[in-house]
C-alpha cells in the first residue's frame, strides 16, 4: 500500500510516498480503506520529534492522526462493524498512520461517519471534535451562560470549538486576524479580538474558561482574564504534574513535568485558577455524539484546502505556515 512515512525525525525531512505491507488485524480490529485524512498541528510536531517525551515511535513511521474510509475486513470478535461500512475515527496514539491507503484500528476507536458529509469533510472532524468535546465536557463542564475565550478561532480546532461552545450555550470570545473575522463571526463568535491590533488580556475579564491552542505567551496572558476558580485547558502548553499522574507516565516523568511547569503552577496559584493539559484520547462513543450534532445540522466542518496524497509535503508546509482557515485535508482515494 502507498503511505507517507518518515525514517527519522526532523523539520526538513522530505515527505515522500513509499510502499509498505498491508497491515494485519487483531480480533478486535477493523481494516479500513482510507479515503481521506486530515492534518493537525500534532502531525508536524511528531514529524519534527517534538513529541518524543510523550510518544515513543518506531521507524519507518507513517504519519497522520485521523481519517475517514470504508471497512474492508473485521476481526473475529468485532460485532459493531461490517465490510462496506463508511466510518471515521482517530486511532490510538501507538497506532497512528492515517496518511496511507489502509489502516488497522481498534473497533472502539471508530464510528459510522455522518451521513451528510463527504469523506473529505468527515476526515476533518475526529481529532478536533474529540479534543474539543473532551475539553468542554470532560474537563471544563462548560455551562450555559459561562464565558470562554477560544484562541485562534479560525484554525482547525477553533472552528469546531466555537460551534460546540455556542451549542452548549456559552458566551464565546475568540482571537482572529482580519482575514478570519467573517469566518469566526459566521460560526457564532460573540466577541472577536484582532490579535494583530488588540490585546485580549486588556479587553477581557471575569472569564470562566480559556481554551488554549497556542501555548507560549498567549497561554501566560490567559491567566489574567480568568475569574477566581476559572479554568484553562491547553493543547499546546506545557504538560504538568496533574497530566503526568492522569496519564500514568510514572514517577520520573511526572517529577520532570512538575519541575518544568513551575511557572504555570505559580500562575495558577496567583490567579486562583486551574490549568489542564489535554492529550486527547480516541473514543468511538464520543464520535457518535459528534456525529449526531453534525447530522442534526448543529455543527458543520470547515475545510480550507484539499491536497492529493503525493502533495502531502505541500500540505504540511501550508498547515505549518499558520495561514489555514479550517482544516487541511489529504485525499487518498
Note the pLDDT tens digit of each residue in 93-149: 999 999 999 999 999 999 999 999 999 999 999 999 999 999 999 999 999 999 999
- pTM for the complete prediction? 0.96
Handedness of CA 41, 44, 46, 52 (dihedral sign): negative
Distance CA(52)–CA(332), nearest Å, equals: 27
Closest Cα to residue 47, out of 5, 18, 16?
5
Q: What is the pLDDT of residues 277-298, one digit of tens each?
A: 999 999 999 999 999 999 999 9
What sign does the CA torsion over 75, 79, 85, 89 have?
Answer: negative
For position 330, what pLDDT does the model report? 98
Give whole-number Cα distances, 267 to 141, 142, 275, in Å.
22, 22, 9
Least Cα distance to 3 among 71, 60, 51, 55 occurs for 60
| CATH no. of 128-277 | 3.40.50.720
Q: Break the chain into its structural domains and give their ranges.
A: 2-125+301-331, 128-277
Q: Find how far residue 294's CA is from the centre of its chain.
A: 17
Rg (CA), the chain: 19
Q: What is the mean pLDDT of residues 61-82?
A: 98
For residue 119, CA distances in Å to 18, 38, 254, 287, 301 come to: 23, 10, 39, 15, 11
Quick check: bond before 209 cis, omega within 30? no
Backbone φ and ψ for 108, nearest 5 degrees, come out as: -70, -15
Residue 257 CA to residue 238 CA, distance in Å, equals 8
Neighbours of 92 (CB within 10 A): 14
Give the pLDDT confidence score for residue 148 in this predicted structure.
98
Compute the distance between CA of residue 293 and CA of residue 33 in angstroms, rounded to an integer.
25
Tell me what pLDDT residue 56 has. Answer: 86
- Which residue's C-alpha cell is 461552545? 165
> What DSSP designation does 9 have?
-
Mean pLDDT of 169-193: 97
Asked if pLDDT for residue 248 goes beyond 90, the answer is no
54 pLDDT band, cuts 50/70/90, is: confident
Same-fold call for 2-125+301-331 versus 128-277? no
CA distances 78 to 2, 82, 90, 115, Å, are 26, 8, 18, 22
| pLDDT above 90 (res 47) | yes
Average pLDDT for 243-259: 90
pLDDT of 207-230, one tens digit each? Answer: 999 999 999 999 999 999 999 999
Mean model confidence pLDDT for the chain: 96
Measured N-to-C along each axis, helices 284-295 and 126-133 cross at an angle, to the nearest 10 degrees, of: 100
CATH topology of domain 2-125+301-331: Quinone Oxidoreductase; Chain A, domain 1 (3.90.180)
What's the average model confidence in pLDDT over 301-330?
96
In the predicted structure, residue 52 carries a pLDDT above the cut 90: no
pLDDT at 53 over 90: no
Q: What is the mean pLDDT of residues 10-27?
A: 94
pLDDT band at 315 (very low <50, low <70, confident <90, very high): very high
Is 303's pLDDT higher than 90? yes
Secondary structure (3-state) at 254 = helix
3-state secondary structure 33-64: EEEEEEECHHHHHHHCCCCCCCCCCCCCEECC
Share of the chain above pLDDT 70, in %: 100
Mean pLDDT on 311-333: 96
Amino acid at each position: 500500500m502507498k503511505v507517507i512515512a518518515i525514517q527519522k525525525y526532523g523539520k526538513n525531512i522530505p515527505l515522500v510516498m513509499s510502499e509498505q505491507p498491508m497491515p494485519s488485524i487483531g480480533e478486535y480490529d477493523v481494516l479500513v480503506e482510507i479515503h481521506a485524512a486530515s492534518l493537525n498541528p500534532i502531525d508536524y510536531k511528531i514529524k519534527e520529534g517534538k513529541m518524543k517525551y510523550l510518544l515513543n515511535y518506531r521507524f519507518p513511521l507513517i504519519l497522520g492522526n485521523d481519517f475517514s474510509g470504508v471497512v474492508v475486513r473485521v476481526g473475529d470478535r468485532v460485532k459493531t462493524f461490517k465490510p462496506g461500512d463508511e466510518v471515521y475515527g482517530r486511532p490510538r496514539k501507538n497506532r497512528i498512520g492515517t496518511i496511507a491507503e489502509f489502516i488497522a484500528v481498534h473497533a472502539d476507536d471508530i464510528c459510522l461517519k455522518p451521513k451528510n458529509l463527504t469523506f473529505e469533510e468527515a476526515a476533518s472532524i475526529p481529532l478536533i471534535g474529540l479534543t474539543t468535546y473532551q475539553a468542554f465536557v470532560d474537563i471544563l463542564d462548560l455551562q450555559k451562560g459561562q464565558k470562554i475565550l477560544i484562541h485562534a478561532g479560525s484554525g482547525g480546532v477553533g472552528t469546531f470549538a466555537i460551534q460546540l461552545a455556542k451549542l452548549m450555550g456559552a458566551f464565546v470570545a475568540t482571537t482572529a486576524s482580519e482575514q478570519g473575522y467573517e469566518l469566526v463571526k459566521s460560526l457564532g463568535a460573540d466577541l472577536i479580538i484582532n490579535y494583530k491590533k488588540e490585546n485580549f488580556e486588556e479587553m477581557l475579564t471575569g472569564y470562566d474558561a480559556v481554551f488554549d491552542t497556542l501555548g507560549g505567551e498567549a497561554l501566560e496572558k490567559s491567566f489574567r482574564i480568568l475569574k477566581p476558580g476559572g479554568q484553562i485547558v491547553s493543547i499546546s502548553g506545557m504538560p504538568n504534574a496533574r497530566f503526568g499522574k492522569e496519564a500514568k507516565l510514572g514517577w520520573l516523568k511526572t517529577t520532570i513535568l512538575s519541575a518544568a511547569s513551575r511557572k504555570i503552577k505559580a500562575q495558577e496559584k496567583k490567579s486562583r485558577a486551574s490549568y489542564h493539559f489535554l492529550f486527547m484520547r480516541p473514543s468511538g462513543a464520543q464520535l457518535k455524539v459528534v456525529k449526531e450534532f453534525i447530522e442534526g445540522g448543529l455543527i458543520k466542518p470547515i475545510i480550507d484546502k484539499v491536497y492529493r496524497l503525493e502533495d502531502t509535503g505541500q500540505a504540511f508546509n501550508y498547515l505549518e505556515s499558520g495561514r489555514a482557515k479550517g482544516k487541511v485535508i489529504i485525499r487518498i482515494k
